[in-house]
Structure 1
Amino acid sequence: MDIVLIRHPAVDVEEGVCYGHSDVALADAPEASAAALAVRLATLQVPAPRVLLSSPLTRCASVAAALAANFGCAYSCDDSLKEMDFGTWELQRWNDIDRALIDAWANDFEGARAHGGESVEQFVSRVRTWFDALQQTRELSPAYVVTHAGVMRVIAATVLGLPVERCLKWSLDMSGCVWLRRDDVTHDWSMVRWNA
């Protein structure tokens, strides 16, 4: 089973703004981004997708639709693939958020919800539930999943048996791709590419 996770391209948001669950526009046309991604994936010899799955947020869904048209396959959106909900911090500059609240979050990384949105624990549970269901449907392989950095890190941590916090330190560019493969006999996962 092959799953290729694709981070959405750059967004039209000022640097330093928290936009996790918010529906923000892409900086460039989704068709151009999808064409560039298709070329890169072909260069990496990633198998063409049987299906494209996506976060419903515009920055992902518009690219997924363009990729699906390029590959001639179906695509669908799932709320489980949205980025973490940062509640009242959404669309706020990180530097403008009360430092005490950010420190409290850091001190209880998994459980804190000072922003009123999702805790990391809730977010991880949402993504892992989706991923567990995906693994039961072999006919979807290879699948491309257009989503967000947080979702990609949770899935990578899950398949590699690592704490999510550890994967937060790994660089993941806009339009970065993560190729994961599961052995259909042993059911062991491996990472073929990170941030390709």
Structure 2
Amino acid sequence: MLTTLLLLRHGETALTAHQRLSGSGGDDPPLSGTGRRQADAAAESLAARFGVQAVVSSPLRRCRETAGAAARRLGPEVRVDAGLREADFGAWEGLTFAEVRERYPREFAAWQADPAAVPGGTGESFASVTHRVERARDKLLAEHAGRTVLLVSHVAPLRTLVRLALGAPPRTLFRMDLAAASVSEVTYDGAGEATLRFLNDTSHLSHL
């Protein structure tokens, strides 16, 4: 009996378009016009390819809007799980990676090397993100055994789910590309063993 988690990153926002860090500690931007079109395209593709039986979203607005577009096509109501929220990047919120690297070189290097490092002085470490994402995942697998569930979330939580599925080290987080409105798939067997089926599928966005 396989349980399938479809991992959908939210559509583009004004910050996403400029590759700026946008976590749970800064602004809560809505989808841009492009982001709304991406969410609709992802929803149409998911409806054609999968029989989704539950939709679960991060509480942040960009995810709830993306999940809403999916739910309108797929049927299930959106359930919000705070464990799927984006990391808090502290004082780095709104900055690009290049700006963080230039302004906080030591802290940035430590953040990339150590999952316990706290970004931006007051943010959330990847160790903390991993802990809450694991709890959210385990709860979903228990509640939806044998079903297909759409998770709408952000880069850090979704990369964490993929990393855990692969049994890969924390530094792997920086070696995955998850584009806005991309879809990935992880399945779990009855013993909880995970298989990554595909990663960062954006084929549904090619016509936009």
Q: TM-score range by the shorter chain?
A: 0.7 to 0.9
Give every structure 1 segment of 4 or more consecutive aligned residues whose post-TM-superposition deviation is greater than 6 Å: none
| Bigger helix share | 2
Contact 1:53–1:78, Cα closer than 8 Å, also in 2? yes
Amino acid at match of 1:12: A
Aligned to 2:180: 174
Superposition TM-score, scaled by structure 2 size: 0.82
Tell me how large the CA RMSD over aligned residues is: 2.1
User: Please, what TM-score do these two structures have when normalized by structure 1?
Assistant: 0.87
2:206 alignment counterpart:
none
Q: Is 1:77 the equivalent of 2:45?
A: no
Cα distance in 2 for residues equivalent to 1:91 and 1:167: 20
Equivalent residue in structure 1 for 2:195, among 186, 190, 195: 190
Distance 1:92 1:42, change over 3 A: same
1:165 maps onto 2:171 in alignment? yes
Flag structure 1 segments of 5+ consecutive residues without an equivalent: none
The correspondence for 2:53, drawn from 45, 50, 60, is 50
Q: Which residues in structure 2 correspond to 1:56-75 (within 5 Å)?
A: 56-75=59-78
Distance 2:61 2:178 in 1: 20
Q: Alpha-carbon deviation of 1:183?
A: 2.4
CA displacement at 1:30 relative to structure 2? 6.0
Task: Report the alpha carbon displacement of residue 137 of structure 1 after superposing the two structures with TM.
Answer: 1.5
Whether the 8 Å CA contact 1:2–1:181 is kept in 2: the answer is yes
Partner of 1:7: 9
Q: Secondary structure at the match of 1:168?
A: helix
Contact map agreement 1:26 1:59 (CA 8 A) in 2: yes
Q: Conserved in 1, the CA contact under 8 Å of 2:4 and 2:148?
A: yes
Secondary structure in structure 1 of the residue aligned to 2:33: coil
Tell me, yes or no, if the aligned pair for 2:5 and 2:149 is still in contact at 8 Å: yes
Ranges in structure 2 where 5+ consecutive residues have no aligned partner = 202-208
In 2: Cα distance, 1:140 partner to 1:146 partner = 19
* Distance in 2 between residues matched to 1:183 and 1:168, nearest whole Å: 27
- Deviation string, structure 1 residues 13-59 (Cα, Å, up to 9, x no partner): 2624221223122222665333201233356x3x2211100011111
Structure 2 counterparts to residues 3-42 of structure 1, below 5 A = 3-13=5-15, 15-21=18-24, 22=26, 23-28=28-33, 32-42=37-47
Instruction: Map residues 101-180 of structure 1 onto 2, 5 A cutoff.
Output: 101-107=107-113, 109-115=114-120, 116-138=122-144, 141-180=147-186
Write out per-residue CA displacement over residues 48-81 of structure 1, whole angstroms, 9 at most, x where no aligned residue: 2111000111111011112112212111111111
Instruction: Give the superposition deviation at 1:178.
Output: 0.7
Per the TM alignment, residue 112 of structure 1 is displaced from its structure 2 partner at its CA by 1.5
Task: State the AA in 2 paired with 1:20.
Answer: G
